[in-house]
Amino acid sequence: MIKISPLSTAFDIAKKISFHQKKSYTNIIVKLSIIATAISVAAIILTLSLVNGFQESIANKVFSFWGHIRIESVNGTPLRKNDAVVNALINSSQQQIKSITPFISQSTVISFKQDIEGIVALGVNADDPVPFLVQGKKLTPSKDSIMKEIIISDAIAKKLNIPLNEHIKLYFLNGTSVQQRKFKVVGFYHSGMQDYDQQYVMIDILSLYQLRNNITEVDGYTVNLKDVEQIDEQKDAIQAQLPDNWVSTTIPNYYPQIFDWIGVQTINRNVAITIMLMIAMVNLITCLFILMLERVSMIGTLTAMGASNGFIRQVFIYQASIICWSGIILGSILGLGLSLLQQYFGLIQLDETAYFIKTLPIKIVPTQIVIILLGTAVISYISFLLPTLWIKRISPAAAIRFD
């Protein structure tokens, strides 16, 4: 029997019955509950980190290729270049727009030796960085280069057996005639997205101007933002300043199939977190019921000695709190540790053809972790109240005789 000295508190009793009982199953129950809570918390942290990293990695791949917002004509016809509009958009964006660059795309056929393949030539500014460049160098502007240059994907290079620095031919349909252009392969890119890698090559936009014999028209403009979170606001602000027949579209709306798929991961994440929280709650409630059942005689003794139901309830709430916070702390260490291991060492590899990425990405958001930990604690404390309501139903005399 526990002696309650004047200095004894509910917390002291909770610690004593949690960790200093030799002839009972309390220690085993407490340790199992701590382990179960830790696993639940670690699973939640891992789920958040994995989904955050996966969504950001895929979205950034698409944004790196196409920018954040695209400006085109309403009916799909070429736009007449308008530097005044571009400058006005940049100046009025409150430094939210990083760059606005024109682009042209042209269907073509690439030929190397006896092999040919239908592709799309994407005209870009030679001075801009090349996304996903894995070998070689970026384009040299056409006006500074004797030989026109091209960057192709490693997938096309492998399919047609094209080595770096080799010369290839592109055949363009211009009206009713076919025009041939010779290019030197100066780089390979690899985005990991098969629809892009097997379809697009990059050449200097000046080459397509020359092909079309028109330097005043482009297919559209690519807008790159400094903060992707502002994409919808900036899209509306841009649209308000565009001329008639010009329309701005966010890339997530332009490629909904990819971003809808990314959005589904949020639903999966929320379902997984809900399940883990429910498991943690059931575990703690069950544990507390078992601990209270084992301590029925102690409850009766404390009640007979004049302890209030509130005091006895505090004993078990403190005991459950010890279990809860021990599990949360251990789970946090485990979850963050595994996340950091994956982030720095890339232990888990993925099928790039299915997921667009080779290594499972990780993104740890500190505010999310704090919210999850505090939320788990709050939900746990609320769940603790249910078992402790049983205390007032216990008769002291019956409880003392309980075996």
DSSP 336-356: HHHHHHHHHH---B--HHHHS
85 lies in a domain?
A: yes
Task: For residue 343, give the nearest of 61, 44, 46 by alpha carbon.
Answer: 46
- Tell me: pLDDT of 401 over 80: no
Q: Are 40 and 331 in contact (CB under 8 A)?
A: yes
Q: Could you tell me which of 28, 60, 11 has the C-alpha nearest to residue 224?
A: 60
pLDDT at 380: 83
- Tell me whether strands 69-73 and 246-250 are parallel, antiparallel or unpaired: antiparallel
pLDDT band at 4 (very low <50, low <70, confident <90, very high): very low
E strands of 239-392, at which residues? 246-250
Q: Sorting pLDDT into bands at 50, 70 and 90, what band is 190?
A: very high
42 and 97 housed in the same domain: no
Contact (Cβ atoms closer than 8 angstroms) between residue 64 and residue 128: no
Shared-domain flag, residues 321 and 397? yes
* 236: pLDDT strictly greater than 70: yes
The SS3 call for residue 249 is strand
Same domain, 100 and 183: yes
Q: pLDDT value at position 251?
A: 95
Mean pLDDT, all residues of the chain: 85
141 and 263, same structural domain?
A: no
Whether 104 and 35 share a structural domain: no
DSSP structure class, residue 163: P
Residue 235 has pLDDT above 80, yes or no: yes
Whole-number Å distance between alpha carbons of 318 and 305 = 20
pLDDT at position 185 over 80: yes
When divided into structural domains, the chain yields a total of 2
From residue 153, alpha-carbon distances to 118, 129, 186, 198, 236 in Å are: 14, 15, 11, 7, 34
What's the pLDDT tens digit per position in 99-149?
Answer: 999 999 999 999 998 899 999 999 988 888 888 999 999 998 766 555 689
| DSSP assigned state of 359 | B
Q: What confidence score (pLDDT) does residue 393 get?
A: 60
The per-residue pLDDT for 41 is 94
Do 103 and 240 reside in the same domain of the chain?
Answer: yes
Token digits of residue 349: 């590899």
Q: Tell me, what's the pLDDT at 210?
A: 86
What mean pLDDT do residues 273-299 have?
80
Position 7 confidence tier, pLDDT thresholds 50, 70, 90? very low
Q: Cα separation of 203 and 119, whole Å?
A: 12
| Residue 125 placed within a domain | yes
pLDDT at 18 over 80: no
Task: Examine residue 212 and state whether it is found in any structural domain, yes or no.
Answer: yes
* Exposure on the CB side of residue 325, measured as CA atoms within 13 A: 6
The pLDDT assigned to 142 comes to 64
Beta strands in 54-189, from DSSP E residues, in sequence order: 69-73, 79-80, 97-112, 115-124, 133-136, 149-153, 167-174, 177-189
305 domain residue, yes or no: yes
249 domain residue, yes or no: no
Let me know whether 238 and 270 are in one domain.
no
Instruction: With respect to residue 47, please indicate whether it lies within any of the assigned structural domains.
Output: yes
Alpha-carbon span 388 to 29, nearest angstrom: 17
pLDDT mean over 350-359: 88
- C-alpha 273/C-alpha 372 separation (Å) is 9
355 pLDDT more than 80: yes
- pLDDT score for 281: 86
| Domain housing 172 | 76-244
- The reported pTM is 0.82
Residue 389 lies in a domain: yes
Indicate if the pLDDT at residue 25 is higher than 70. Answer: no
222 and 303 assigned to the same domain: no
Tokens representing 185 are 């392969």
Q: Is residue 2 situated within a structural domain? A: no
* Helix, strand, coil shares, percent, the chain, to 5: 55, 20, 25
Strands (E), 193-237: 200-204, 217-218, 220-225
Rounded CA separation 170/118 (Å): 10
